[in-house]
Amino acid sequence: MINSLQKGDKIVTIAGIHGVINKVNEDGTISLEVSPGSYIKIEKSAISMEWTANINKTATTTTADKN
């Protein structure tokens, strides 16, 4: 999952920081937009696969419920 991340994906870090991927860097880091115009650089290993899957599952379920 971590290797398939791309710009626009919503993620959660192991520290609980939520954001949207702005750029996947060649050095194993990610530029993460945490609020409009605010970016932090994190290691890919800092992404919580469990929490990220959960937040994306919730977003998908909420969208499906609206239809």
pLDDT digits (tens, 9 = 90+) for 46-55: 999 999 999 8
Q: Residue 53: CB partners within 8 Å, gap ≥ 6?
A: 1
pLDDT at residue 9 in the model: 95
Return the pLDDT at 67.
57
CATH code linked to domain 2-66: 2.30.30.140
What pLDDT does residue 59 have? Answer: 66
Residues of the chain whose pLDDT is less than 50?
none
Q: What is the pLDDT of residue 61?
A: 62
Q: What is the pTM of this model?
A: 0.79
Domain ranges of the chain: 2-66
pLDDT at residue 57 in the model? 85
